[in-house]
């Protein structure tokens, strides 16, 4: 089942709704975080009364979300004003809270304040011949659905001294429709944590919280690559803080991301 097939499921139009996902979208024993975040975003988008773009989304990964088991999504509109709407979405499985997400949507307004984006990446053009190969039982199951062209940083568990990570990302199965914020949200979480390359051997790691801001509407060709440039700002005592910027193929900044990651290395 492709990402678009999951995200276009008609049951996500209502709230609360019951949903599930297949085992091949797992990351260890739990759902791939990018997929679960995108499912929540889709459910929230369906509750909008008019056209408003996503400004920001905050996700807390509270507990594991298991494959092939029903769970319940529920979206609550906290406030919807003339220009902005704030929503809260919760996923529960067997009555246990698994994820919580809050998102802000807004209409564009006339303003004299204009600060142009100056960020640019240093990535080379994407190379589809040099994507990380999927290795069953070695890589997370969801990895069979994505292409990652690593250009900055090193492989996980290589004992590297590098704490930066960068490259290009897209789905192996080209979506039928143009790429939007749902695709970006899912793919932005496909990369291993920046600090995992510094571990000397296989070590579990888990995102605890994730905050992402969207600079502009996203409407790219369905076969386009998203660029990512990420850095570890601090890591100690089993936890790390990483920032990332996500770019369009032409270099325009699309989103800014920050995650808190737990690593269980020995």
**DSSP letter for each residue of 128-175:** TTSPPPP-TTTS-GGGGGEEEEEEES--TTS--S--EEEEEEEESS--
Domain carrying residue 259: 3-107+125-263
Q: Does 115 map to a domain?
A: no
pLDDT at 210 over 70: yes
- Number of domains into which the chain is organized: 1
Give the per-residue pLDDT at 142. Answer: 95
54 close to 205: Cβ distance less than 8 angstroms: no
Q: Does 119 map to a domain?
A: no
pLDDT at 133 over 80: yes
- Separation between Cα atoms, residue 40 and residue 42, nearest integer Å: 5
DSSP-derived 3-state class of residue 234: strand
Q: What is the chain's mean pLDDT, rounded? A: 94
Q: Residue 208 sits in a domain of what CATH number?
A: 2.40.160.210
Q: Does 246 map to a domain?
A: yes
Average pLDDT over residues 146-154: 94
Residues 6+ apart with CB under 8 A from 229: 121, 122, 123, 152, 164, 166, 244, 245, 247
Give the per-residue pLDDT at 266. Answer: 64
Binning pLDDT at 50, 70 and 90, where does residue 135 land?
A: confident
Give which of 226, 168, 206, 265 is closest to 32, Cα–Cα: 206
Q: Does 72 map to a domain?
A: yes
Give which of 123, 69, 71 is closest to 97, Cα–Cα: 71
Q: Does 76 map to a domain?
A: yes
Average pLDDT over residues 90-102: 98
**Tell me: the pLDDT tens digits for 222-255?**
999 999 999 998 989 999 999 999 999 999 999 9
Task: Choose the weakest-confidence range: 35-39, 166-170, 189-193.
Answer: 189-193
43-82: b or e for each residue (b if 16 or more CB lie within 10 Å)?
Answer: bbbebeeeebebeebbbbbbebbbbeeebbbebeeeebee
CB 185: neighbour CB atoms within 10 A?
A: 28
DSSP state of 39: H
Structure tokens at 72: 């319940």
Q: Does 149 map to a domain?
A: yes
Binning pLDDT at 50, 70 and 90, where does residue 110 land?
A: confident
């Amino acid at each position: 089942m492709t990402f678009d097939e999951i995200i276009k499921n008609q049951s996500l139009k209502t709230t609360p709704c019951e949903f599930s996902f297949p085992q091949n979208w797992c990351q260890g024993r739990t759902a791939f975080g990018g997929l679960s975040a995108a499912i929540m975003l889709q459910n929230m988008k369906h509750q909008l009364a008019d056209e408003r773009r996503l400004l920001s989304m905050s996700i807390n990964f509270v507990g594991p979300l298991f494959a092939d088991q029903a769970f319940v999504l529920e979206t609550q509109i906290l406030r919807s004003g003339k220009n902005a709407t704030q929503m809260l979405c919760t996923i529960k499985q067997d009555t246990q809270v698994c994820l919580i997400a809050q998102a802000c949507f807004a209409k564009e307004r006339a303003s004299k304040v204009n600060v142009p984006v100056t960020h640019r990446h240093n990535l080379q053009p994407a190379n589809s011949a040099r994507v990380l190969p999927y290795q069953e039982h070695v890589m997370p199951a969801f990895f069979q659905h994505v292409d990652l062209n690593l250009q900055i940083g090193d492989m996980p568990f290589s004992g590297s001294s590098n704490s930066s990570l960068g490259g290009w990302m897209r789905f192996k199965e080209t979506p039928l429709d143009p790429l939007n914020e749902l695709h970006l949200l899912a793919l932005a979480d496909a990369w291993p944590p920046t600090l995992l390359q510094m571990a000397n051997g296989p070590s579990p790691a888990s995102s605890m919280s994730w905050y992402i801001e969207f600079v502009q509407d996203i409407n790219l060709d369905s076969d386009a690559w998203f660029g990512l440039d990420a850095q570890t700002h601090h890591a100690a005592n089993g936890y790390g803080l990483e920032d990332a910027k996500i770019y369009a193929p032409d270099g325009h900044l699309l989103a800014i991301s920050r995650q808190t990651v737990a690593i269980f290395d020995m």
